[in-house]
Amino acid sequence: MQIKLKIIVSVTPYRMGDKNMQMDQEQKKKLLTALAIIISLPVLVVGIWTTLITILVSKGSMLGMILIIAGAFIGYAASLVVAKLAADVVHKFLSNVSAIADGTVTIDNLSMPIGQNNHRINDIMQTVNEIAVSYAKIIASIENATTELGEVTENFNKLFNDMTAAEEDMSNNVNSISENIISQADRMQMITSELDSVSDEIEHISTNIENLTASADNMQNCNKSVESYITELIKLNSENSESIEKVREQTELTNKSAMNIRTATEIIASISNQTNLLALNASIEAARAGEAGRGFAVVAEEIRKLADQSKESTEQINESVNDLIDNAQFSVEITQKVTSAFAEQTEKINFTSSLFDSLRKEVNQVANAIGGIKSDALNLNNNKTSILEKVQDVTDFSNENEECAKTTLENVYHFEKIISECRNATDHVTSVSNQLIHNIQKLGDS
């Protein structure tokens, strides 16, 4: 025999006589508390993680966002497991209650013997009514929690849409960063190649500077030798000028002596002429004296001959003196010209010496400039080496960034897959929630 029970919502207190049908207030409170915690736990976890994700996204922390989202997915998966367990318990409970609501529970199901009295049946009815009251409250709480779960699921769908859009933007940005890193690595390779060319040019410049330094040193040595030669030449020129001046003075003295000799020869010539006249007069007087003046005439003739010889000698001396005077005059003119030439030569030598002095200063300046260029070339070479090291570091960083970009891109793809799985899980939760609401509505209609 089967007894169908009609559920009547009532708040009448009751007590069960049978231990198998008894449910005290403490057990009901524990059941309600457990159900409330189980249903509220996913909502609480989702709210906390949603707040953390919002804060990190607003700060722009990509790595932290990925870690938090991954943690959120783990928490959400755990919440889904808990919700699934709760749904199974509630579903089983609702199945039993639905059986009671449909009136399909028999006495055998309730473990009640058919021969018991009406008092026992009244207790059962009161117990069922009390269970119905608690059940109605639980159903209302479950319905509210299910509604909130639907809203949270809808918020999760919106959040997943936003996360999908953010993931697409992040994927595009990562691709752009990866392309930029590859382009940067290529540019760094080009810069390295150009720096190698610059290094070759610097070495070539350094070689030329070494050659130029050697040439400057040779020029300085040659300049010192030329200055020494010019100093000796100036000294010799000065000595030659002094010697020529002495020759000119001696020539003038010789010219004066020749002039004096010519004056003396003129006097001798005059005396010779007078002697010749006296000898002529003596011959005339000796001729007048006759035989007595013949000896005197011979002496006068000899004197006249001596006078003629003296005249001839004087004329020869005059000719020699005139030649000597002419030659001395020519020598004086030559020495004057030589003196002028030596003076001009001395001036030219002094000018050449000043030029070589200026040249020496210029060579020293060139040597100093070459030393500065050499130092600059050395610094440039050191800077080139430092730049090459930094470029190599940047290249290494670019390679590391490229690897990180690839890893990040793979994580983004994995993240996209996780979002898709979470979306599917959310859709499943939505379906279960809708089915739960439908069952609750069906149970309420019953």
Q: Which long-range contacts (CB under 8 A, 24 or more apart) does 242-245 make?
A: 244/335, 244/338, 244/339, 244/342, 245/335, 245/339
Q: Where in the chain is the domain with CATH 1.10.287.950?
A: 161-437
- d(Cα 128, Cα 7) in Å, to the nearest integer? 7
Which helix (H) or strand (E) segment is 172 a member of? helix 118-289
Q: Which residues have CB under 8 Å from 105's CB, separation 6+? A: 4, 5, 99
Instruction: Give the single-character DSSP code of 6.
Output: -
At residue 89, the 3 state secondary structure works out as: helix
At residue 286, the 3 state secondary structure works out as: helix
- Stated pTM of the model: 0.38
- d(Cα 337, Cα 174) in Å, to the nearest integer? 97
pLDDT tens for 298-332 read: 777 787 787 778 778 878 887 887 887 787 778 77
At residue 431, the 3 state secondary structure works out as: helix
Max alpha carbon distance in the chain (Å)? 242
- d(Cα 207, Cα 215) in Å, to the nearest integer? 12
pLDDT tens for 246-284 read: 877 887 888 788 788 878 888 887 887 888 787 778 778
Residue 38 near residue 82 (C-beta atoms within 8 A):
yes
Select from 3, 203, 247 the least CA-distant residue to 111. 3
Residue type, 34: A
- How far are the Cα atoms of 3, 4, 70, 130, 436 from residue 104, in angstroms, in the given order? 8, 6, 48, 19, 21
Whether the CA torsion 234, 239, 242, 247 is positive or negative: it is negative
Digits of tens for pLDDT over the chain (446 positions)?
Answer: 333 333 333 333 333 333 333 444 554 455 555 555 555 555 555 556 555 555 555 555 554 455 555 655 665 566 566 556 655 555 555 555 444 444 444 434 444 444 444 565 566 556 656 666 666 666 666 667 666 666 766 776 676 677 677 667 766 776 777 677 677 767 777 777 777 777 777 778 778 778 877 877 887 787 777 778 778 877 887 787 787 778 778 878 887 887 888 788 888 878 878 887 877 787 787 777 777 777 777 777 787 787 778 778 878 887 887 887 787 778 778 877 877 877 787 788 788 878 878 877 887 888 788 777 878 777 877 877 777 777 777 777 777 777 776 777 777 677 677 777 776 776 776 676 677 666 666 655 55
67, two tokens: 């870690």
- d(Cα 292, Cα 289) in Å, to the nearest integer? 6
Residue 440 near residue 139 (C-beta atoms within 8 A):
yes
Select from 153, 110, 149, 121 the least CA-distant residue to 21. 110
Whether the CA torsion 357, 361, 364, 366 is positive or negative: it is negative
Select from 235, 257, 274 the least CA-distant residue to 328. 257
Residue type, 243: S
- d(Cα 341, Cα 430) in Å, to the nearest integer? 124
| CATH for 161-437 (1.20.950.20, 3.40.50.150, 1.10.287.950, 3.40.50.261) | 1.10.287.950
Select from 324, 306, 327, 326 the least CA-distant residue to 316. 324
Instruction: Give the single-character DSSP code of 321.
Output: H
- d(Cα 73, Cα 161) in Å, to the nearest integer? 15
At residue 104, the 3 state secondary structure works out as: coil
Select from 122, 121, 140, 129 the least CA-distant residue to 100. 129
